[in-house]
Structure 1
């Protein structure tokens, strides 16, 4: 992995192949979310991931945040590494929505949305902040906590329902990368303000996501996990929602990835291998 900073934005390149994938992480994640997939890419490929503003080693970048700002950063990173229309663009979770916005502005060889990217309209009577708290409660709580040692933070993640039966060296590297702060008061690098602002944008601007998806000219596919953020039996993007959007968008190819949850779709060996295959094949 080769790292560099672009105007305060940390980017990492995995591999050295001439064919490039630009990858975007989720709402409280980091570029290390893509390491397991990157390691499974075939020869001739490389994957460029970034820490979005307010996360990882880009945490010091100030707001305002919001997904359009992240989409601009994605395109800036693509320009920096010389990734043109022959590159593949992908995003996981919130990163899939960012990828959709970026792909609406520029053509790519293909766009692969991983367990995200489909609009989920907010009911008219719902309060965005209450919905956000209910949806991201565990993640937001983590951002406010401190931990005495790295091992305590690792243990915290090991108890997470999504990872309880799926721990690996890749997950541990992802978790340790996220830590910052002094001994005895370690915390996540992700800024709570950035997570809340981006989460609220997702809830109130679903129409802009739908419009972006409809305007994408590149081949577009969706990989979904059948289980959710807490490993529950209903995925983040249920079958009915996927069916609604594939009916609206005939160019959207939908695929359910068996036996994974919202997180392990990028970490579990079989799931990460399938994601790597779909990123590098024209299927």
Structure 2
């Protein structure tokens, strides 16, 4: 990270991590549910000096403020407000957007909304799409919906290494760096993760839903990256995504689940190539049939988890 700025949005401080602040091109990089903008450090090095990487910490994560009103602030509608605040702060009328998991859904919502779609020039989704595996979602909500406490840093490191094994990290130094950037001390001297435990309430107040309609409304070029062993984005979903977006580019990352860290040359090179591709004239997509909406079933499962 070369710079750190704080932006005030609705009484919350939003930390924004920046790499290559004087670069001629800009990429917004938005992290996943329980991560932070620091996850894009390796990608910033891979993309090189041509790209300014702007990676905010979503409220309740990393160095950003925790909300006193999670039911109002840990929602996609508020994250859109935060995103627009970031774009306006940096005077970005239109920008390329890369989002991992939650950050990808946020980019989808903005790119599909006629009020904001002109702000997204190109969209890269990292292991996320308009339809998500319900069991994978439940696994996420059950893990991040409770507080985690560790007596020492070694225990946190071991737990993190086990939980994030699907990230595809291969070197112990990478795991240690991830653990150091994911930890914070509690007042009693024990350790926990960097995020507000109440971010899990998002699954109660803002239940994920079928987003095929939004997907079909996206007009900008889109690339989807999928971990070959992903528990969230099923392989069978990609052909349906391509039917709605005929120019869709895809990349499957071997030996990764949810979600690739985008830290290897073979992951960064296709991203750079996509960002260098000229934007084609939009062609209306084919109509895509949707599966039975998941919202009622998921709501029932999450309420059972949080109310038991």
Superposition TM-score tier, normalisation by shorter sequence:
0.7 to 0.9
- The CA distance in 2 between the partners of 1:182 and 1:39, in whole Å, is 35
5 Å matches for 1:220-239? 220-228=222-230, 235-239=231-235
Q: Which moved more, 1:168-177 or 1:70-79?
A: 168-177
Q: Which of 243, 255, 272 is 1:259 aligned to?
A: 255
Q: 1:53 aligns with which of 54, 59, 70?
A: 59
2:36 is equivalent to residue 30 of structure 1: yes
Aligned equivalents of 2:97, 2:191: Cα separation in 1: 33
Match for residue 120 of structure 1 among 132, 148, 158:
132
Does 2:132 align with 1:106? no
Aligned equivalents of 1:166, 1:18: Cα separation in 2: 32
| Contact 2:46/2:265 (<8 A) preserved | no
Which of 14, 37, 42 is residue 19 of structure 2 equivalent to? 14
Could you say what the CA RMSD is over the residues aligned between the two structures, in angstroms?
2.7
Aligned residues: 263
Q: Cα offset for 1:21?
A: 0.3
Give per-residue Cα distances to partners, 1:128-151, cap 9 Å, x unaligned: xx98544443444xx512122333
Contact 1:36 1:170 in 2 (8 A): no
Aligned to 2:302: none
The aligned runs of 1:185-200 (5 Å cut-off) are: 185-198=190-203
SS in structure 2 of the partner of residue 166 of structure 1: coil
Measure, in 2, the Cα distance between the counterparts of 1:59 and 1:71.
Answer: 16
* CA distance in structure 1 between the aligned counterparts of 2:268 and 2:172, rounded to whole angstroms: 15
Structure having the higher Rg: 2
Q: Distance in 1 between matches of 2:237 and 2:65?
A: 33
Structure 2 gaps of 5+ residues are 279-308
Shift of 1:239: 2.0
- The answer to whether the Cα contact below 8 Å between 1:53 and 1:61 also exists between their aligned partners in 2 is yes
Q: Which runs of 5+ in 1 are unaligned?
A: 123-129, 229-234
Of 168-177 and 49-58, more deviation after overlay is shown by: 168-177
TM-score, structure 2 normalization: 0.75
Give the Cα–Cα distance (whole angstroms) in 1 for the partners of residues 273 and 225 of structure 2: 9
Question: Residue 231 of structure 1 aligns with which residue?
Answer: none
Contact 1:59/1:190 (<8 A) preserved: no
* Residues 1-283 of structure 1: pairs in structure 2 closer than 5 A: 1=1, 2-7=3-8, 8-16=13-21, 17-62=23-68, 63=70, 64=72, 65-85=74-94, 87-104=95-112, 105-107=116-118, 108-120=120-132, 132-140=137-145, 143-160=146-163, 161-162=165-166, 166-180=170-184, 181-182=186-187, 184-198=189-203, 201-203=206-208, 205-206=209-210, 209-228=211-230, 235-263=231-259, 265-274=260-269, 276-278=271-273, 280-282=275-277
Compared with structure 1, are the counterparts of its residues 133 and 216 closer, same or farther at alpha carbon in structure 2 (3 Å cutoff)? closer
Q: In structure 2, do the counterparts of structure 1 residues 118 and 271 end up closer, same or farther at CA, with 3 Å as the change threshold? A: farther
Q: TM-score, normalised by structure 1?
A: 0.81
Cα distance in 1, alignment partners of residues 232 and 266 from structure 2: 16
Task: Look up the SS of the partner of 2:28 in the other structure.
Answer: strand
